[in-house]
Amino acid sequence: MLPLLAEFTSPGIGFQIGLLSIRWYGVLIASAVLIGVNLSQYLASRRQVNPELLSDLAIWLVLAAIPSARLYYVIFQWRDYVGNPASMIAIWQGGIAIHGAILGGTIAALIFARVKKISFWQLADLVAPSLILGQAIGRWGNFFNSEAFGSPTDLPWKLFIPLDRRPPGLENVAYYHPTFLYESLWNLGVFALLMFLFFKGSRLKVGTLFLTYMVAYSAGRFWIEGLRTDSLMLGFLRMAQVVSLTGIAIGAIGLFWLYGMKRSLPDVVDDPNPDSQPTR
């Protein structure tokens, strides 16, 4: 038998400060937003873009992404909520989908870019490193909520799931793949790749970072989702895997468009400065 390397056990979904109940999921989301805004502003200053634009964009993204993430989840888990509509807004109990957040945030960013008359792809490049870093942080919310774990495992690293959170039929199985950890580490790797490209790439075409994010994140999410026991389903399909394959295809086609065909990406402004952007 292999020696135990790590056993993860959630300390609970939150803690108390006096009469105030604090949820770890909320703390993590707030931390991810704060860190992400500051990082995006720093990257904007390196690209000679007004950092205040990123502060304004962050408000749009939060207002669009969080409700979209919850709505996406509720749609695919409709049977769990139709009898209790009030629970649909109980986001503090967990139950959000990052693909819904990305979709809502992308729509908000497109509108913002159009209003501010700035290249959407330029904004997307500045947000991409913050987005993947925020996803790496946010995945730990699943750990505290004892949710979004993988299939049973006896590997030297494993996640203990309380009895009341175990899948039907697996009540006697205590340990599962810590898929939250797998995805968090994968996302940190993608973050490192994007930051390397930003600072070490001699000249990057507008849109490169976001398209690279789409391919790299989606590739990891596809295989990790295959380990999950609670995937959002559309018939027999795991929706996250379908969306991930779509993201890989869009990202790959976009990168080929930029570097294979040497053309700029369609944008919301007439002259989005499609030439290569200096990164330093």
β partners of residue 16 = 21
Mean pLDDT, the chain, as a whole number?
Answer: 89
Read off the pLDDT of each residue in 179-196 and give the average, rounded to a whole number.
Answer: 97
Residue 280 pLDDT exceeds 50: no
Known binding residue 166? Answer is: no
Which of the four pLDDT bands, split at 50, 70 and 90, describes residue 87?
A: confident
State the pairing for strand pair 6-9/157-160. parallel
Residue 203 pLDDT exceeds 90: no
Which of the four pLDDT bands, split at 50, 70 and 90, describes residue 3?
A: low
**Contact (Cβ atoms closer than 8 angstroms) between residue 126 and residue 50:** no
Query: Of 201, 225, 198, 200, which Cα lies nearest the Cα of 210?
Result: 198
Tracing tokens 């959170």 back to the chain, one arrives at 165
Look at 18-22, 118-122, 271-275 and tell me which has the smallest mean pLDDT: 271-275
What pLDDT is recorded for position 91? 67
Residue 242 pLDDT exceeds 70: yes
Read off the pLDDT of each residue in 239-250 and give the average, rounded to a whole number.
Answer: 96
Read off the pLDDT of each residue in 176-203 and give the average, rounded to a whole number.
Answer: 94
Quick check: helix, strand or coil at residue 228? strand
